[in-house]
Amino acid sequence: MKKAIISAALGAAAIGMVATGATAATLDDVKAKDFVQCGVSQGLAGFSNPDDKGNWTGMDVDVCRALAAAIFGDATKVKFTPLSAKERFTALQSGEIDVLSRNTTWTATRDTSLGLNFAGVNYYDGQGFMVRSSLGVKSALELSGASVCTNTGTTTELNVADYFRSNKMEYELVAFEKADEVVAAYDAGRCDVFTTDQSGLYSQRLKLTNPGDHVVLPEIISKEPLGPVVRQGDDQWFNLVKWTHFAMVNAEELGVSSANIGEMMGSDNPAVKRLLGSEGAFGEALGVGNDWAANIIKMVGNYGEVFDRAVGPDTPLKIERGVNALWSDGGLQYAPPIR
Amino acid sequence: MSIQDAGHVDDQAKVAFFNDPKVRSWAYQIILVLFLGWVIWSIRENVSANLEAQNIATGWGFLGTTAGFSILQKLVFYTEASSYGRALWIGLLNTFLIAFLGVIFATILGFIIGIARLSSNWIVAKVAMVYIEVVRNLPLLLQIFFWYFAALRALPGKREKASFLDTIHLNITGLKMPAPVFGEGSSIVGIAVLAAIGGIFFLRRWAKKRQEEKGEQFPVFLTSLGLLFFLPLIAFFAAGQPIGLEHPVFSETGPMIRRGFALNTGLSLSPEFIALFLALVTYTAAFIAEIVRAGIMAVDKGQSEASHALGVSNNFTLRLVVIPQAMRVIVPPLISQYLNLTKNSSLAVAIAYPDLVAVGGTILNQTGQAIEIVTLWMVIYLTISLSISMVMNWYNRSIALVGR
Amino acid sequence: MTVYDKNKVSFVRSEMVGESPPPLSEVGFVGWIRKNLFSSVSNSILTIVGFYLAYQIIYVLVNFSFIDAVWSGEDGTACRAPQAPGDGACWPFVGAYFDQFIYGRYTIAERWRVDLVYLIGAIGIAWLVIERAPKRPLVAVLMLTAFPLISFILLTGGNFDYSSNFLWTSLIVAAVILVAAFAIPTMTKSNPWPTMITVAVVLLILAGVLLLLSIDFGLPEVETSLWGGLLVTLVIAITGIVFSLPVGVILALGRQSNMPIVRIICVIFIEFWRGVPLITVLFMASVMLPLFMPKGIHVDNLLRAMIGVAFFASAYMAEVVRGGLQALPKGQYEGAQALGLSYWKMMGLIILPQALTLVIPAIVSTFIGLFKDTTLVSIVGLFDLLGQMASSLSDPKWSSPMTPHTGYLFVGAVFWIFCFAMSRYSVYMERKLDTGHG
pLDDT of B275 strictly over 90: yes
Of the pLDDT bands very low, low, confident and very high (cuts 50, 70, 90), residue B3 is: very low
Q: Do C157 and C211 contact (CB within 8 A), yes or no?
A: no
Comparing CB atoms, the residue among A162, A190, A231 nearest residue B172 is A190
Q: Which CATH superfamily is domain C92-106+224-433 in?
A: MetI-like (1.10.3720.10)
Q: Neighbouring chains of C at 3+ CB pairs within 8 Å?
A: A, B
Minimum distance, in Å, between the CA of residue A18 and any CA atom of chain B: 7
Least Cα separation, residue B385 to chain C (angstroms): 5
Give me the mean pLDDT over the C37-61 stretch: 83
Q: Are B83 and B65 in contact (CB under 8 A)?
A: yes
- B9 vs A83, residue with greater confidence: A83
Residue B177 pairs with which residues in a beta bridge? B267
DSSP state of C384: B
Residue pLDDT, tens place only, B178-229:
887 777 777 888 888 888 889 888 888 888 888 888 877 777 788 888 888 8
Asked whether residue B79 is assigned to any structural domain, the reply reads no
Whether the Cβ atoms of residue C398 and residue C90 lie closer than 8 Å to each other: yes
Residue B76 lies in a domain: no
Least confident span in A192-196, C20-24, C374-378: C20-24
B154 and B282 together in one domain = yes
Chain B environment of A143 (Cβ under 8 Å): 257
What is the average pLDDT value for chain A, to the nearest integer? 85
* pLDDT bracket for residue A304 (50, 70, 90): very high
pLDDT bin (cut points 50, 70, 90) of residue B10 is very low
Q: pLDDT, tens digit, for every residue of A145-168? A: 888 999 886 778 888 888 998 898
Contact B386 C275 (CB under 8 A): yes
A89 in contact with chain B, both atoms CB, cutoff 8 A: yes
Q: Amino acid identity of C70?
A: V
Which stretch of A6-15, C66-75, C317-326 has the lowest confidence by average pLDDT? A6-15
Residue B230 has pLDDT above 80, yes or no: yes
Q: Tell if the CB–CB gap between B39 and A17 is shorter than 8 Å.
A: yes
C438, pLDDT greater than 50: no
Facing A87 at nearest CB: one of C165, C286, C297: C286
Q: In whole angstroms, give the CA distance from residue C176 to residue C167.
A: 14
Side-chain half-sphere CA neighbours of C122 within 13 A: 7
Tell whether B291 and B155 lie within a shared domain. Answer: yes
* For the ranges A34-38, B64-68, C25-29, the one whose mean pLDDT is highest: A34-38
CA distance A58 to chain B (A): 25
For chain C, the average pLDDT equals 84
Residue B81 burial (CB < 10 Å; 0-12/13-18/19+)? exposed
> Containing H/E element for B251?
strand B250-251
State how far the Cα of A210 lies from the Cα of B135, in Å rounded to an integer: 34
Indicate which of A1, A20, A42 best probes the interface with C, i.e. most C CBs within 10 Å of its own CB.
Answer: A20
Distance from CA of B201 to the nearest CA of C (A): 33
- Residue to test with chain B: of C41, C256, C375, C385, most B Cβ within 10 A: C375
Q: Based on the domain organization, do B29 and B154 belong to the same domain? A: no
Q: Kindly state whether residue B317 falls inside one of the protein's structural domains.
A: yes
- Is B130 within the bounds of a domain? yes
* pLDDT, mean of residues C360-387: 89
Q: What is the CA radius of gyration of chain A?
A: 21
List all chains that touch chain B, counting a touch as 3 or more CB pairs closer than 8 Å: A, C
In tens, the pLDDT along C265-274 reads 999 999 999 9
Which pLDDT score, from 0 to 100, does residue A333 have?
Answer: 94
Mean pLDDT over residues B38-47, rounded?
Answer: 88
Q: Give all strands (DSSP E) within B133-198, no chain letters.
A: 162-164, 168-171, 174-177, 179-182
B278 within a domain of the structure (yes/no): yes
Confidence band, pLDDT 50/70/90 cuts, at residue C189 = low
**Position A85 confidence tier, pLDDT thresholds 50, 70, 90:** confident
How far from C382 is each of A34, A203, C301, CA to CA, in Å?
A: 26, 22, 8
The residue extents of the domains of chain C are 24-67, 92-106+224-433
User: What domain count does chain B have?
Assistant: 2
Residue C142: Cβ within 10 Å count: 16
pLDDT at A9 over 70: no
- Looking at residue C330, its pLDDT comes to 86
Measured between beta carbons, the chain B residues lying within 8 angstroms of A113 are 55-57, 368
**Whole-angstrom Cα distance, residue C423 to residue B138?**
12
Q: Which residues of chain B neighbour A192 with C-beta distances below 8 Å? A: 158, 257
The SS3 of residue C104 is strand
Total length of chain A: 339
| DSSP strand pairing (A193-197 vs A99-100) | unpaired
The secondary structure of B14-59, three-state, reads CCCHHHCHHHHHHHHHHHHHHHHHHHHHHHHHHHHHHHHHHCCCCC
**The most confident of A86-100, B275-289, C367-381, C385-399, by mean pLDDT:** B275-289
Whether A22 contacts chain B with CB within 8 A = no
Question: C9 pLDDT band (50/70/90 cuts)?
Answer: low
What are the contacts of C168-172 at 24+ separation with CB within 8 A?
C169/A11, C169/A14, C169/A15, C169/A18, C170/A11, C170/A14, C170/A15, C170/C210
Same domain, yes or no: B15 and B107: no
pLDDT, mean of residues B334-348: 91
Tell me: the pLDDT tens digits for A262-283? 899 888 899 999 999 888 889 9
Interval A76-105 mean pLDDT: 85
Is residue B147 included in any domain, yes or no?
yes
Domain that holds residue B22: 8-37
CA-derived radius of gyration, chain C: 31
Mean pLDDT, range A299-310, rounded to an integer:
94
Instruction: Identify the pLDDT of residue B204.
Output: 86
Whether residue B88 sits in one domain with residue B14: no
* DSSP percent split of chain B into helix, strand, coil, nearest 5: 70, 5, 25
Q: Where in chain A is the domain with CATH 3.40.190.10?
A: 3-124+226-313, 127-222
Nearest to C280 among B122, B149, B378 (CB): B378
Q: Which residues of C touch B136 (CB under 8 A)?
A: 419, 423
Yes or no, beta carbons of B28 and C275 under 8 Å apart: no
Which of C276, C278, C373 minimises the CB distance to B382?
C276
Tell if the CB–CB gap between B121 and C386 is shorter than 8 Å: no
Q: Are residues B12 and B97 in the same domain?
A: no
ipTM value > 0.90: no
What is the structure's pLDDT at B7? 44
Tell which residue, A110, B347, B76, has the closest CA to residue B85: B76
Q: What is the mean pLDDT of residues C69-77?
A: 79
Task: Measure in Å the smallest separation between the Cα of B43 and chain C Cα atoms.
Answer: 5
pLDDT band at A41 (very low <50, low <70, confident <90, very high): confident
- Does domain A127-222 correspond to CATH entry 3.40.190.10? yes
Chain A residues close to C107, C-beta within 8 Å: 54
What is the per-residue pLDDT for C3?
60
Residues B22 and B144 in one domain: no
- Tens digit of each residue's pLDDT (9 = 90 or more) over A48-66: 887 666 688 899 999 999 9
Span A186-212, average pLDDT: 86
Is residue B230 included in any domain, yes or no? no
Per-residue pLDDT, averaged over A62-77, amounts to 94
Select the residue of C108, C170, C394 nearest A207 (Cβ to Cβ). Answer: C394
pLDDT given at position C433: 76
Average pLDDT value for residue range B247-253: 78
User: Given this model, what pLDDT does residue B20 score?
Assistant: 73
Q: What is the pLDDT of residues A215-237, one digit of tens each?
A: 888 888 888 899 999 998 889 99
pTM above 0.80, yes or no: yes
The upper half-sphere exposure of residue B132, i.e. CA atoms within 13 Å in the direction of its Cβ, equals: 25
Mean pLDDT of B169-176: 84
The whole-number pLDDT of residue C177 equals 85
Q: Are B23 and B9 in contact (CB under 8 A)?
A: yes
The pLDDT score that the predictor gives to residue C7 is 65
Give the pLDDT mean for B331-342.
Answer: 89
d(CA A63, CA A78): 11
Spatial contact of A203 and A317, defined as CB atoms under 8 Å apart: yes
**Residue of A81, A184, A187 with shortest CB distance to C225:** A81
Asked if the Cβ–Cβ distance from A18 to C169 is below 8 Å, we say yes
Is C54 a residue whose pLDDT tops 50? yes
* Chains with 3 or more CB pairs under 8 A to chain A: B, C
C-alpha C263/C-alpha C252 separation (Å) is 9
CATH class given for the domain over A3-124+226-313:
alpha beta
More confident residue, B31 or B284: B284
CATH number where B324 lies: 1.10.3720.10
A66 close to A72: Cβ distance less than 8 angstroms: no
Q: CA nearest C398 in A: which residue?
A: A209
Partners of residue C290 in chain B, C-beta under 8 Å: 50
B304 and B164 housed in the same domain: yes
Residue B71 lies in a domain: no
